[in-house]
Amino acid sequence: MDCSKVGKLLTYLRKERGMTQKEVADILSLSDKTISKWERGLGCPDISLLNELSTLFGVNIEKILIGDLNPNDADGGNMKRIKFYVCPSCGNVMTATGEADISCCGRKLEALKAQKQDKKHTMLLEEIEDDYYITFSHEMRKEHFISFVAYVRYDRVLLVKLYPEQNAEVRIPQMRGGQFYAYCTCDGLWAF
Protein backbone atom coordinates (compact mmCIF):
# COMPACT_ATOMS: atom_id res chain seq x y z
CA MET A 1 0.00 0.00 0.00
CA ASP A 2 1.43 3.35 -1.08
CA CYS A 3 0.64 5.65 1.87
CA SER A 4 1.20 8.76 -0.23
CA LYS A 5 -1.41 7.71 -2.81
CA VAL A 6 -3.81 6.53 -0.10
CA GLY A 7 -3.40 9.87 1.70
CA LYS A 8 -4.17 11.88 -1.44
CA LEU A 9 -7.28 9.77 -2.07
CA LEU A 10 -8.50 10.12 1.53
CA THR A 11 -7.98 13.90 1.33
CA TYR A 12 -9.96 14.05 -1.91
CA LEU A 13 -12.79 11.88 -0.52
CA ARG A 14 -13.00 13.88 2.72
CA LYS A 15 -13.18 17.18 0.87
CA GLU A 16 -15.69 15.74 -1.61
CA ARG A 17 -17.97 15.03 1.37
CA GLY A 18 -17.34 18.52 2.79
CA MET A 19 -15.90 17.10 6.00
CA THR A 20 -13.07 18.30 8.23
CA GLN A 21 -10.31 16.04 9.52
CA LYS A 22 -11.87 16.40 12.97
CA GLU A 23 -15.27 15.16 11.72
CA VAL A 24 -13.68 12.10 10.11
CA ALA A 25 -11.63 11.47 13.26
CA ASP A 26 -14.72 11.67 15.48
CA ILE A 27 -16.62 9.18 13.32
CA LEU A 28 -13.68 6.74 13.43
CA SER A 29 -12.96 7.41 17.15
CA LEU A 30 -9.47 8.64 16.33
CA SER A 31 -7.56 11.90 16.72
CA ASP A 32 -7.52 14.47 13.94
CA LYS A 33 -3.72 14.22 14.04
CA THR A 34 -4.03 10.60 12.86
CA ILE A 35 -6.17 11.69 9.91
CA SER A 36 -3.66 14.45 9.12
CA LYS A 37 -0.82 11.91 9.23
CA TRP A 38 -2.63 9.65 6.73
CA GLU A 39 -3.44 12.53 4.40
CA ARG A 40 0.21 13.67 4.38
CA GLY A 41 1.29 10.12 3.45
CA LEU A 42 3.18 9.60 6.71
CA GLY A 43 1.20 6.48 7.55
CA CYS A 44 -1.68 4.38 6.34
CA PRO A 45 -4.96 3.44 8.01
CA ASP A 46 -4.99 0.20 9.95
CA ILE A 47 -6.65 -2.63 8.07
CA SER A 48 -9.34 -2.82 10.76
CA LEU A 49 -10.51 0.68 9.73
CA LEU A 50 -10.86 0.02 6.00
CA ASN A 51 -14.48 -1.13 6.21
CA GLU A 52 -15.48 2.00 8.15
CA LEU A 53 -13.60 4.24 5.68
CA SER A 54 -15.27 2.43 2.78
CA THR A 55 -18.71 3.00 4.29
CA LEU A 56 -17.99 6.61 5.26
CA PHE A 57 -16.74 7.64 1.82
CA GLY A 58 -18.81 5.24 -0.32
CA VAL A 59 -15.74 3.70 -1.96
CA ASN A 60 -14.66 0.07 -2.32
CA ILE A 61 -11.96 -1.05 0.09
CA GLU A 62 -9.87 -2.17 -2.89
CA LYS A 63 -9.84 1.42 -4.24
CA ILE A 64 -8.68 2.75 -0.86
CA LEU A 65 -5.83 0.23 -0.79
CA ILE A 66 -4.79 1.17 -4.33
CA GLY A 67 -5.16 4.88 -3.58
CA ASP A 68 -6.91 5.63 -6.87
CA LEU A 69 -10.51 5.68 -8.07
CA ASN A 70 -9.70 5.30 -11.81
CA PRO A 71 -12.87 6.93 -13.13
CA ASN A 72 -14.43 5.53 -16.31
CA ASP A 73 -14.66 7.47 -19.54
CA ALA A 74 -17.96 9.30 -19.88
CA ASP A 75 -20.75 6.95 -20.96
CA GLY A 76 -22.11 7.95 -24.36
CA GLY A 77 -25.51 6.56 -23.42
CA ASN A 78 -25.73 3.77 -26.00
CA MET A 79 -27.62 0.98 -24.28
CA LYS A 80 -26.47 -1.53 -26.91
CA ARG A 81 -23.18 -1.69 -24.98
CA ILE A 82 -25.00 -3.07 -21.96
CA LYS A 83 -23.37 -5.76 -19.86
CA PHE A 84 -25.36 -8.20 -17.75
CA TYR A 85 -24.22 -9.58 -14.40
CA VAL A 86 -25.91 -12.37 -12.42
CA CYS A 87 -24.97 -13.38 -8.88
CA PRO A 88 -24.41 -17.14 -8.69
CA SER A 89 -25.52 -17.18 -5.05
CA CYS A 90 -28.79 -15.23 -4.99
CA GLY A 91 -29.62 -14.76 -8.69
CA ASN A 92 -29.60 -10.95 -8.46
CA VAL A 93 -29.48 -9.37 -11.95
CA MET A 94 -27.46 -6.19 -12.57
CA THR A 95 -26.54 -4.20 -15.66
CA ALA A 96 -23.96 -1.59 -16.66
CA THR A 97 -23.33 0.34 -19.86
CA GLY A 98 -19.67 1.01 -19.08
CA GLU A 99 -16.85 -0.51 -17.09
CA ALA A 100 -17.95 -1.39 -13.57
CA ASP A 101 -16.76 -3.24 -10.48
CA ILE A 102 -19.87 -5.16 -9.51
CA SER A 103 -20.14 -7.53 -6.59
CA CYS A 104 -22.94 -9.37 -4.83
CA CYS A 105 -22.99 -11.77 -1.89
CA GLY A 106 -19.30 -11.01 -1.32
CA ARG A 107 -18.24 -12.08 -4.83
CA LYS A 108 -16.86 -9.94 -7.62
CA LEU A 109 -18.95 -10.56 -10.73
CA GLU A 110 -17.76 -10.73 -14.32
CA ALA A 111 -19.88 -9.51 -17.22
CA LEU A 112 -21.71 -12.34 -18.96
CA LYS A 113 -20.67 -13.16 -22.52
CA ALA A 114 -23.63 -13.80 -24.82
CA GLN A 115 -23.64 -16.97 -26.89
CA LYS A 116 -25.50 -17.47 -30.16
CA GLN A 117 -28.68 -19.55 -29.94
CA ASP A 118 -28.36 -23.32 -30.32
CA LYS A 119 -30.81 -26.24 -30.45
CA LYS A 120 -31.32 -26.20 -26.67
CA HIS A 121 -31.77 -22.43 -26.52
CA THR A 122 -34.04 -21.13 -29.25
CA MET A 123 -36.61 -18.39 -29.21
CA LEU A 124 -39.91 -18.35 -31.07
CA LEU A 125 -41.14 -14.82 -31.77
CA GLU A 126 -44.67 -13.96 -32.88
CA GLU A 127 -46.19 -10.53 -33.41
CA ILE A 128 -49.51 -10.20 -31.60
CA GLU A 129 -51.25 -6.83 -31.75
CA ASP A 130 -48.51 -4.31 -30.85
CA ASP A 131 -46.41 -6.83 -28.88
CA TYR A 132 -43.78 -9.46 -29.42
CA TYR A 133 -44.92 -12.75 -27.93
CA ILE A 134 -41.79 -14.76 -27.17
CA THR A 135 -41.67 -18.41 -26.14
CA PHE A 136 -38.84 -20.78 -25.40
CA SER A 137 -38.92 -24.56 -25.52
CA HIS A 138 -36.90 -24.71 -22.32
CA GLU A 139 -37.48 -26.45 -19.02
CA MET A 140 -38.51 -24.24 -16.11
CA ARG A 141 -37.47 -26.14 -12.98
CA LYS A 142 -35.75 -24.74 -9.88
CA GLU A 143 -32.46 -26.27 -10.97
CA HIS A 144 -32.60 -25.08 -14.60
CA PHE A 145 -34.72 -22.27 -16.01
CA ILE A 146 -34.75 -19.07 -18.04
CA SER A 147 -34.21 -16.36 -15.40
CA PHE A 148 -34.79 -13.26 -17.52
CA VAL A 149 -35.44 -12.02 -21.02
CA ALA A 150 -34.16 -8.60 -22.09
CA TYR A 151 -34.79 -6.47 -25.13
CA VAL A 152 -32.05 -3.89 -25.73
CA ARG A 153 -32.23 -0.89 -28.06
CA TYR A 154 -29.82 2.02 -28.33
CA ASP A 155 -31.89 4.07 -25.86
CA ARG A 156 -33.59 1.58 -23.52
CA VAL A 157 -33.60 -1.85 -21.94
CA LEU A 158 -36.69 -3.83 -21.09
CA LEU A 159 -35.93 -6.70 -18.71
CA VAL A 160 -38.57 -9.27 -17.79
CA LYS A 161 -37.83 -11.59 -14.86
CA LEU A 162 -39.02 -15.21 -15.10
CA TYR A 163 -39.30 -17.75 -12.33
CA PRO A 164 -39.17 -21.55 -12.13
CA GLU A 165 -42.36 -23.46 -12.75
CA GLN A 166 -43.96 -20.70 -14.83
CA ASN A 167 -44.15 -20.86 -18.61
CA ALA A 168 -41.08 -19.76 -20.55
CA GLU A 169 -42.91 -16.95 -22.30
CA VAL A 170 -43.01 -13.17 -22.27
CA ARG A 171 -44.85 -10.41 -24.03
CA ILE A 172 -42.87 -7.28 -24.90
CA PRO A 173 -44.07 -4.12 -26.67
CA GLN A 174 -42.79 -3.95 -30.23
CA MET A 175 -39.77 -1.71 -30.65
CA ARG A 176 -37.75 -1.95 -33.85
CA GLY A 177 -33.99 -2.20 -34.03
CA GLY A 178 -33.20 -4.09 -30.85
CA GLN A 179 -31.48 -7.25 -29.64
CA PHE A 180 -33.06 -9.99 -27.52
CA TYR A 181 -31.20 -11.76 -24.70
CA ALA A 182 -32.20 -14.60 -22.41
CA TYR A 183 -30.35 -15.94 -19.39
CA CYS A 184 -30.40 -19.66 -18.58
CA THR A 185 -29.40 -20.46 -14.99
CA CYS A 186 -27.26 -23.39 -16.13
CA ASP A 187 -25.98 -22.38 -19.56
CA GLY A 188 -25.54 -18.59 -19.33
CA LEU A 189 -26.55 -15.64 -21.51
CA TRP A 190 -27.92 -16.13 -25.04
CA ALA A 191 -28.35 -13.58 -27.83
CA PHE A 192 -31.16 -13.94 -30.38
Domain containing residue 158: CATH number: 2.60.40.730
Tens of pLDDT, residue by residue over 57-69, are 998 888 898 888 8
Tens of pLDDT, residue by residue over 12-55, are 999 999 999 999 999 999 999 999 999 999 999 999 999 999 99
For residues 102 and 42, membership in a common domain is answered with: no
Tens of pLDDT, residue by residue over 98-123, are 888 899 998 899 999 999 988 888 89
Contacts of 190 (CB under 8 A, 6+ apart): 114, 115, 116, 117, 121, 181, 182, 183, 184
What pLDDT is stored for residue 73 in this prediction?
63
For residues 47 and 113, membership in a common domain is answered with: no
What pLDDT is stored for residue 60 in this prediction?
85
Range of the domain at 23: 3-66
For residues 57 and 110, membership in a common domain is answered with: no
- In the chain, the number of structural domains is 2
Amino acid at 129: E
For residues 23 and 53, membership in a common domain is answered with: yes
Instruction: State pTM to two decimals.
Output: 0.69
* CB atoms inside a 10 Å sphere around CB 162: 19
What pLDDT is stored for residue 74 in this prediction?
64
What pLDDT is stored for residue 99 in this prediction?
80
Q: Is residue 74 part of a domain?
A: no
What pLDDT is stored for residue 175 in this prediction?
86
Q: Is residue 73 part of a domain?
A: no
What pLDDT is stored for residue 46 in this prediction?
93
Q: Is residue 57 part of a domain?
A: yes
Tens of pLDDT, residue by residue over 123-152, are 999 999 999 999 998 989 999 999 999 999
Q: What does R_g of the chain's alpha carbons equal in angstroms? A: 23
For residues 40 and 109, membership in a common domain is answered with: no
Q: Does residue 185 register a pLDDT over 80? A: yes
For residues 32 and 108, membership in a common domain is answered with: no
* CB atoms inside a 10 Å sphere around CB 31: 13
What pLDDT is stored for residue 12 in this prediction?
93
Q: Is residue 51 part of a domain?
A: yes
Dist CA 57 CA 59 (whole Å): 6
Tens of pLDDT, residue by residue over 155-178, are 889 999 999 989 999 999 998 888
Q: Is residue 100 part of a domain?
A: yes
What pLDDT is stored for residue 72 in this prediction?
60
For residues 85 and 143, membership in a common domain is answered with: yes
Dist CA 51 CA 101 (whole Å): 17
Tell me the CATH number at 21. Answer: 1.10.260.40
Contact between 84 and 102 under an 8 Å Cβ cutoff? The reply is no
